[in-house]
């Protein structure tokens, strides 16, 4: 009985080792503001804007994303790449639907934050966003 318990303990310890979660730290977000004319123009032209000073590496607010039924929706993500998040490398806009980590070359979809190119394996951290007219609120 002792050998079985020992074997199970060793198996459990080895199965827990080496798992890399690449989780971006969970920081409190309570950001409220309004879209300036320049930000609205950027949202329409580029599909996303960046707001620095919040989250781990800044916030992305994305727009013009197919909401499933052919509509549009807003999404909010942390700019911190999930590849080596301790480096706090901020993703940059590649196009209206993709951001890229300039440190590792990883890419993420702005549809839902999922990785689209290695070495990324974990999605961008998402935040809740509500829009009322030109006002927005980003929270977690």
pLDDT digits (tens, 9 = 90+) for 93-107: 999 899 999 999 999
User: Is 52 inside any structural domain?
Assistant: yes
Q: Which residues contact 10 (CB under 8 A, 6 or more apart)?
A: none
Which pLDDT belongs to residue 17? 45
User: Is 67 inside any structural domain?
Assistant: yes
User: Is 60 inside any structural domain?
Assistant: yes
Written as six digits, the tokens of 127 are 């935040």
The pLDDT of 54-75, averaged and rounded, is 82
Sign, CA dihedral 114-89-131-65, equals negative
- The answer to whether residues 110 and 96 touch, using CB atoms and an 8 Å cutoff, is yes
Higher-pLDDT residue of 124 and 4 is 124
Instruction: Determine the 3-state secondary structure of 80 from DSSP.
Output: strand
User: Is 106 inside any structural domain?
Assistant: yes
Give the separation between CA 89 and CA 69, rounded to whole angstroms: 34
**Per-range mean pLDDT, top range of 23-32, 61-70, 122-131:** 122-131
**CATH number (domain holding residue 66):** 2.102.10.10
Enumerate helices (H) and strands (E) in the chain, giving the number of each. Answer: 2, 10
Around Cβ 26, how many Cβ atoms within 10 Å?
Answer: 11
Which pLDDT belongs to residue 45? 86
Domain carrying residue 40: 24-139
Provide the number of structural domains found in the chain: 1
User: Is 1 inside any structural domain?
Assistant: no
Which pLDDT belongs to residue 13? 47
User: Is 54 inside any structural domain?
Assistant: yes
23-59 per-position pLDDT tens digit: 898 899 999 999 999 998 888 889 999 999 999 999 9
- For residue 78, CA distances in Å to 9, 43, 97 come to 38, 17, 15
67 pLDDT band (50/70/90 cuts)? low
User: Is 19 inside any structural domain?
Assistant: no
Strand ranges in the chain using DSSP code E only, listed in sequence order: 30-34, 48-51, 59-66, 72-78, 92-95, 98-100, 107-109, 115-117, 126-132, 135-139
pLDDT of residue 7 exceeding 60, the answer is no
User: Is 3 inside any structural domain?
Assistant: no
């Amino acid at each position: 009985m002792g050998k079985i318990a020992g074997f199970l303990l060793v198996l459990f310890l080895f199965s827990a080792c080496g798992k890399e979660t690449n989780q971006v730290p969970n920081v409190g977000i309570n950001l409220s503001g309004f879209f300036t004319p320049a930000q609205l123009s950027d949202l329409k032209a580029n599909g996303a804007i960046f707001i620095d000073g919040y989250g781990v590496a800044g916030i992305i607010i994305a727009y013009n994303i197919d909401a499933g039924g052919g509509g549009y929706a807003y999404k909010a993500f942390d700019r911190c790449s999930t590849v080596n998040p301790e480096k706090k490398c901020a993703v940059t806009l590649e196009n209206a639907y993709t951001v890229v980590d300039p440190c590792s070359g990883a890419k993420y979809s702005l549809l839902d934050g999922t990785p689209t190119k290695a070495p990324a394996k974990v999605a961008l951290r998402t935040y809740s966003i509500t829009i009322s007219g030109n006002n927005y609120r980003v929270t977690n």
